[in-house]
Amino acid sequence: MNIEFDEFLLRRLQVDDAEEYFIFIDSNRERIAKYFPVTVSANSDLNTTTSFIADRVNAWEKREFCSFVICEKKSQKIIGSVFLKDIDWKVLKSEIGYFIDGEYSGKGIISKAVISNITGDKYHF
């Protein structure tokens, strides 16, 4: 699943994203620490980020947690994260969390990413 909007792409978080995801978290560590302390502490270096992503991929396969990244189309730079947790598949509801690189904050990118993921009553994951 890849969803394009404007000059961005919303896609699943993958194990191959470890280095870029670590850079994204590390450069935004202070901004997101208050609201996402588990994510910040679980991404303290490249090794922990690799394990963190592997856990998220495994949780996706079990349909327990869905992790997405927002990337710039041209550079593939990760600029945001969107995730679904506490998923109830019977009534199709979940809690949503998200954060974005400070440089891109306040530009409506998260809103567009979330809206782009839903078409009518079908979800793209």
N-terminal to C-terminal alpha carbon distance within the chain: 7
Residue 118 has pLDDT above 90, yes or no: no
Q: How far is CA 79 from the centre of its chain?
A: 9
Give the residue with greater pLDDT, 103 vs 92: 103
The answer, yes or no, to whether residue 22 has pLDDT greater than 60, is yes
Average pLDDT, stretch 12-25? 97
| Cβ-based neighbours of 52, under 8 Å, separated by 6 or more | 39, 42, 43
pTM greater than the 0.95 cutoff: no
Question: What is d(CA 70, CA 9) in angstroms, rounded to the nearest whole number?
Answer: 6
- In this predicted structure, what is the pLDDT of residue 92? 87
* Per-residue pLDDT reduced to its tens digit, 37-48: 999 999 999 999
C-alpha 79/C-alpha 41 separation (Å) is 19
